């Protein structure tokens, strides 16, 4: 190696995504780089006025099988792979009259567009073979060949070339005979090639595994009838460094799927405020996941990953007030998620309380104007898909002592028709509505979870009035929820209560009844279920079993 650059005299081009291609190819051609392209790419560049030569001059063969075979050629791969520092390889190529290829510009058939319902033949036709082979060959030989695996790389290559021209005091026209690209950039692009091909192969593998009835290898493959993946392959890219983790002395970063360009693609758009913190992101996940449960205008206030208040109503302003006032003391410094756009009136109401984050599908112009006065308040305009019910559950991951714990998200649709009334008294329509609402909240509350609330007999709202979370005994959670309700001035007489798991003793039923609660829902399944049922009947309290618990540890 005489210097730290790759001299590019010939480029092989074969792309599916033509974004920015004309400009890039013109940039190379006007500097004397010979551009060789496969059929469709060559036609596109030719129509754009770019000087281009057919790829078969390199490959030695015409395209076959309606374009399935166009770059799979020993001549082309020899032109890409040969080591310029080895005389014997150079002599072999010269003897066979194979010109060198110094740059490979390739992106693949758009398999990412394939949907689960697409016919297999249509999907299989989008599995690229020649493209990955050519660009991987270039990446392997990055010391002599520049791999360019995506349009996003064009700008970096052009800037690098222009910087080297400036250093050599060359005008663009004086660079005829090729360009120079730094080996450092070529190495970075080589690494990117293997990221791109790996992600591409995982998409194909997940699709084919689904068609075979087996789970794929990544988080996106979870769902349906199959088990969790036998092999779990995670490809995550650091989207940003965070100021710190849960505490200032802990380092932290935010990662997204490697295929995402940035977090905005999936999270949304931050409109104002400080950067989202580690704890903000955890609370946002809890808030949005709970908000997704409801079709009506809904508000969820989260504090330390637990709801401090949840409500639905016929209008969002009322829902916010009801959720906030469940426990206004805990709502201070909370994270709020709503499932409708924030209006000016709602923004004015929110501005009277210190909040860390407000997340919504939109903010009216007047609302943004009001909330701009609170400079540090983070406003997040949620990506539309975040509030939609997922077609398959997420794969939830946690680090364990010596490995990783993985489980499906608790995401099944709930229905009171699956419940069993086990007490002598059946719930009234209002009680049943309140229980159903609270059960949805309970599965987003850290266990042991007890949620107390009610629904308006007129059907205008459902709300929480007390939340007991994270206690080490269930009766403690009941007492905590009752205490919080009393502290906030709520009357729980006639209220309902939901528990995320069965009551191991009747003490929780007795405590609820003494406070005036008239309806309880729990999974059932305790060896003392009969005692709990007897307690409910003694207090004329209605008791429903869901048959399924909703722990959130």
* 468 neighbors 476 (Cβ within 8 angstroms): yes
| 425 and 528 inside one domain | yes
Q: Residue 451's closest CA among 470, 423, 428? A: 470
Pick from 41-45, 229-233, 241-245, 493-497: least confident: 229-233
Domain housing 285: 270-387
Angle at CA of residue 79, ends 31 and 194, nearest 5°: 90
Angle at 34 between CA 33 and CA 36, to 5 degrees: 135
pLDDT in tens, 94-130: 888 888 899 999 998 887 777 766 777 877 888 878 8
For 136-183, the pLDDT digits (tens) are 999 999 999 999 999 999 999 999 999 888 887 665 555 557 899 999
As a whole number of angstroms, the distance between CA 357 and CA 470 comes to 23
- Mean pLDDT, residues 507-527: 97
CB atoms within 10 A of CB 182: 18
Tell me which of 387, 404, 432 is where a domain ends: 387
Question: Does position 388 have pLDDT exceeding 90, yes or no?
Answer: no
Contacts of 264 (CB under 8 A, 6+ apart): 383
Mean pLDDT within 268-282: 94
pLDDT digits (tens, 9 = 90+) for 325-364: 999 999 999 999 999 999 999 999 999 999 999 999 999 9
370 in the same domain as 419: no
CATH number for the domain harbouring residue 82 = 3.40.50.1380
Q: Which of 211, 226, 242 is the last residue of a domain?
A: 211
State whether 15 and 163 are in the same domain: yes
Local confidence band at 225 (pLDDT 50, 70, 90 cut-offs): very low
Find the DSSP H helices in 50-182: 56-59, 74-81, 87-95, 120-124, 130-140, 154-167
Q: Is residue 49 situated within a structural domain?
A: yes
Q: Kindly state whether residue 326 falls inside one of the protein's structural domains.
A: yes
DSSP string, 181-246: EEHHHHHHHHHHHHHHHHHHHHHHHHHHHHHTTS--SSGGG--TTS-S-SS----EEEEEE-S-SS
Domain identity same for 355 and 481: no
The number of domains in the chain is 3
The continuous run of DSSP H or E covering 147 comes out as strand 146-148
Shared-domain flag, residues 333 and 433: no
Q: What is the reported pTM?
A: 0.71
The pLDDT assigned to 1 comes to 38
Does 46 lie in the same domain as 183? yes
CA distance 484 to 61: 78
Candidate from 40-54, 209-223, 466-480 with smallest mean pLDDT: 209-223
CATH no. for residue 352?
Answer: 3.40.140.20
Lowest mean pLDDT among 5-14, 82-91, 372-381, 485-494: 82-91
């Amino acid at each position: 190696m005489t210097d730290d650059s790759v001299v590019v005299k010939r480029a092989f081009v074969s792309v599916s995504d033509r974004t920015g291609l004309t400009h890039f190819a013109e940039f190379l051609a006007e500097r004397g780089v010979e551009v060789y392209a496969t059929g469709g790419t060559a036609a596109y560049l030719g129509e754009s006025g770019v000087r281009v030569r057919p790829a078969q001059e390199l490959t030695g063969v015409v395209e076959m099988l309606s374009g399935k075979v166009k770059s799979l050629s020993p001549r082309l791969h020899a032109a890409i792979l040969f080591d310029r520092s080895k005389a014997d390889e150079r002599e072999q190529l010269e003897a066979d009259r194979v010109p060198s290829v110094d740059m490979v510009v390739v992106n693949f058939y758009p398999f990412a567009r394939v949907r689960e319902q697409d016919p297999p033949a249509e999907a299989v036709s989008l599995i690229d073979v020649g493209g990955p082979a050519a660009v991987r060959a270039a990446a392997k030989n990055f010391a002599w060949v520049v791999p360019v695996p995506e349009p996003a790389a064009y700008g970096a290559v052009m800037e690098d070339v222009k910087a080297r021209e400036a250093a050599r005091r060359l005008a663009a026209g004086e660079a005829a005979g090729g360009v120079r690209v730094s080996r450092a950039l070529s190495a970075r692009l080589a690494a990117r090639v293997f990221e791109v091909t790996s992600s591409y192969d995982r998409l194909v593998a997940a699709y084919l595994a689904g068609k075979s009835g087996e789970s794929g290898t990544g988080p996106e493959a979870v769902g349906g009838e199959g088990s969790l993946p036998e092999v779990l392959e995670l490809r995550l890219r650091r989207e940003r460094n965070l100021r710190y983790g849960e505490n200032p002395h802990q380092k932290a970063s935010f990662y997204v799927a490697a295929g995402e360009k940035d977090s905005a693609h999936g999270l949304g758009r931050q409109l104002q405020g400080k950067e989202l913190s580690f704890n903000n992101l955890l609370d946002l996940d809890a808030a949005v996941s709970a908000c997704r449960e409801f079709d009506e205008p809904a508000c969820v206030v989260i504090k330390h990953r637990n709801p401090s208040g949840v409500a639905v109503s016929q209008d969002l302003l009322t829902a916010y007030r009801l959720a906030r006032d469940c426990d206004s003391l805990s709502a201070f410094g909370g994270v709020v998620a709503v499932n409708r756009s924030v209006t000016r009136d709602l923004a004015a109401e929110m501005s009277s309380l210190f909040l860390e984050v407000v997340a919504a599908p939109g903010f009216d112009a007047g609302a943004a104007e009001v909330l701009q006065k609170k400079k540090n308040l983070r406003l997040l305009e949620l990506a539309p898909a975040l509030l939609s019910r997922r077609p398959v559950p997420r794969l939830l991951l946690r680090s364990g002592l010596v490995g990783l714990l993985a489980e499906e998200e608790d995401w099944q649709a709930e229905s009171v028709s699956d419940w069993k009334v086990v007490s002598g008294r059946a719930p009234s329509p209002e009680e049943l509505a309140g229980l159903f609402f609270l059960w949805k909240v309970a599965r987003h509350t850290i266990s042991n979870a007890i949620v107390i609330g009610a629904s308006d007999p007129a059907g205008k709202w459902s709300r929480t009035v007390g939340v007991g979370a994270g206690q080490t005994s269930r009766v403690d959670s009941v007492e905590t929820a009752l205490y919080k309700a009393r502290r906030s001035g709520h009357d729980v007489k006639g209220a309902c209560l939901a528990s995320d798991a069965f009551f191991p003793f009747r003490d929780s039923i007795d405590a609820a009844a003494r406070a005036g609660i008239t309806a309880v829902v729990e999974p059932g399944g305790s060896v003392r279920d009969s005692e709990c049922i007897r307690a409910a009947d003694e207090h004329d309290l209605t008791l429903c079993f869901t048959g399924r618990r909703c722990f959130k540890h």
